[in-house]
Amino acid sequence: MDFSSNDYLGFAGIPEIQAGAARILQAYKTFHGATGSRLLSGNHAIHEELETYLQSKFNVEGALLFNSGYDANIGFFSSVPQRGDVVLYDQLVHASIRDGIQMGKAKAYKFKHNDLQDLRQVLHRVKKTEPNTAEIYVVTESVFSMDGDIPDLSALATYCTDNKLYLVVDEAHALGVFGKGLVAGTELENAVFARIITFGKAMGCHGAAVLGAKDLKTYLINFARSFMYTTALAPPSAAMVLASFQWLYTKDGLERQNVLRDHIKFFQDTVVQYGLEHVFLPSSSAIQIAVIGGNTKTKAIATAVQQNGFGAKPILAPTVAKGKERIRICLHAFNTKEQLKGIVALMAKVYG
């Protein structure tokens, strides 16, 4: 029973999406491979159609495709913040964001996870020690991949707007689970400088895009090395992404989103029913985290869970902080309520 994949809506196995992608490819009569970077031979009309679709659907001027969320993050953060700029990032942001920042020339400082007050204090110190800072970027995720929690995006956006900071939000684990993501869901599109959306989670495909202003897109085309110096996303992948988005807004696609949200609520209620609130982190997303503590104990419980047919995986130190080792349970629209209750009941039994 799948409790580990990021295929939250089950889109990776829907025949109708595959058929839709085949129709798109047939209409374009395009190559199976991109054949080169988009700056040379690899720019195909299907790439541009998908970007135009994303611009319209997400109400932005520019959308630029990347081969993966990792490529999108290292491309953005290694090229957009300049020497003399500062990046303030949540301490639990994804490794690809950290890697991109390290590849760039801006100075970077972390703030405590989902802690707006600590961000204020860090910004205050930065302004004292870096008085000539050109631009300041604030980076967070709308759903954190290893905790499943959600920041107060409205408060963060207001703070960034009031202080003329550029807010960047990675929406990898929100897209699809929460429709167009939590930035759109909270109507903050105009308050966010850039969004990174990925297609390898709830969309069941591959690839990613950076959403923002037209000038941002133009800049990334010319300076994001992970875009410039790689073979473009294969046309079949682009067709699959487009077909997945089209299916997301069908009656069946919307129903899957509703089922998943119902499953999340049912799982939370079951955790309370079995008295495991002290074990699970609060989360209204598809990612539910049981913090066990200790690699040995966490592996033992995960093994017991897996031997009973539940495919949940342990996350061990040093991937997470020592003492915070955990079992990461990913919920899906295709899981049954019997399965949801079963894994919680088993966790209660083996946790002891």
Query: Looking at the domain assignment, is residue 2 inside a domain?
Result: no
* Same-domain check for residues 66 and 186: yes
* Same-domain check for residues 257 and 239: no
* Same-domain check for residues 241 and 277: no
Domain boundary among 192, 217, 248: 248
Residue with tokens 């949801």: 340
pLDDT of residue 135: 96
**Torsion from C-alpha of 126, 132, 135, 140, nearest 10 degrees:** -10
Q: How do residues 41-77 score in pLDDT, each as one tens digit?
A: 999 999 999 999 999 999 999 999 999 999 999 999 9
Average pLDDT, the chain: 96
C-alpha to C-alpha distances, 340 to 99, 183, 280, 283, 300, nearest whole angstrom: 35, 28, 14, 15, 20
* Selection from 263, 173, 168 nearest residue 216 by Cα: 168
- Measured at the CA of 166, the angle between CA 184 and CA 223, to 5 degrees, comes to 100
The pTM score is 0.96
* Same-domain check for residues 204 and 115: yes
Query: Looking at the domain assignment, is residue 221 inside a domain?
Result: yes
Q: How do residues 119-166 score in pLDDT, each as one tens digit?
A: 999 999 999 998 888 999 999 999 999 999 999 999 999 999 999 999
Query: Looking at the domain assignment, is residue 315 inside a domain?
Result: yes
Domain boundary among 226, 248, 270: 248
* Same-domain check for residues 226 and 265: no
Tell me: pLDDT of 352 over 80.
Answer: no
Query: Looking at the domain assignment, is residue 5 inside a domain?
Result: no
Domain boundary among 207, 223, 248: 248
> Going edge to edge, which strands form the sheet with 326-330?
287-291, 326-330, 313-315
* Same-domain check for residues 257 and 311: yes
The pairing of beta strand 208-212 with beta strand 62-66 = antiparallel
Tell me: pLDDT of 29 over 90.
Answer: no
Q: How many domains does one find in the chain? A: 2
Percent of the chain with pLDDT over 70: 100
Cα–Cα distance for residue pair 179/165, rounded to 1 Å: 26
pLDDT of residue 133: 83
Q: Which helix (H) or strand (E) holds 182?
A: helix 182-185
pLDDT of residue 261: 97
Tell me: pLDDT of 251 over 80.
Answer: yes
Q: How far apart are the first and last CA of the chain?
A: 23
Q: How do residues 223-244 score in pLDDT, each as one tens digit?
A: 999 999 999 999 999 999 999 9
142 in Cβ contact with 151 (< 8 Å): yes
Range of the domain at 281: 251-351
Q: How do residues 190-206 score in pLDDT, each as one tens digit?
A: 999 999 999 999 999 99
Q: Where are the beta strands (DSSP E) in 100-250?
A: 107-111, 136-141, 166-170, 194-198, 208-212
In CATH, what number is assigned to the domain containing residue 295?
Answer: 3.90.1150.10
